[in-house]
Structure 1
Amino acid sequence: MESYSHLPQLSNGQLDFSKIQDAQIMKTKPNRGKGYTAGRSCIAEVVINNKPTKPLLDPGAFCSCVGKSFLKTCVPNFEDDLLPIDGIKLNSASNPMEALGIFETNIIFPNINGNLRIIVEFVVM
């Protein structure tokens, strides 16, 4: 991921940040570098196309894949902006997956100290 700190940060006045708790791990913490073995998912609260949503993030993935049904909830007409995808074969559990295209968008991670906006390219499945 690449952040664009030189761009103005967007803020949504409707998001409530008055109650924030530190994250706690509810079981024995794995050794450093073995966090992926904890078996938990990484669901983040983000804003896509000015709509708050909670996608499942995989920071160790080869590429950022998103289902077309999920993307439609945030960007109903995303098909109009799909970029072609060529020369890539994607598999899940050794089964081939067909990609529809690439969708570039901004994702905003809300934070009380200033929102973080990044530009991502999703592979739409």
Structure 2
Amino acid sequence: TSERAPKKRIFISVPKKYWPVLSQFYDLDHGLFITDLNPNISEGYVAAYFKPFGCVTMCKIKNSSGSSKDRLAYVRFSTEAEANEADWAGPHFIGGTECKVRRVVSPKVRWNPQWLDEEGNEETNQF
């Protein structure tokens, strides 16, 4: 399955009944995709918020649509059960703002330090 791993991270939000089919072709990471974040929230704050639900292995925040006010995050957990527990614990109020949370799976990203992007920079395993 590592030969099929994508070079860039993709997020898939489908009903749980389809995950076994995806896992036949890919090693899956389990996490949450979060929108409507407070613009003043940091990655550390979001990771700390979800820590009671399990081991947060990655937390990335990005601005969407080129606006610093529209922010979204991806939080990855070490296990499927931890991601499920965090999802089921909603609604989530992070930094005083109610956020929209979607449960997602993501094929593990293939990483080779010798791979370079079009500009000659090393590609990263980042969201």
TM-score, normalised by the number of residues in structure 2: 0.25
Structure ranking higher in helix proportion: 2
| Larger of the two Rg values belongs to structure | 1
TM-score, normalised by the number of residues in structure 1: 0.25
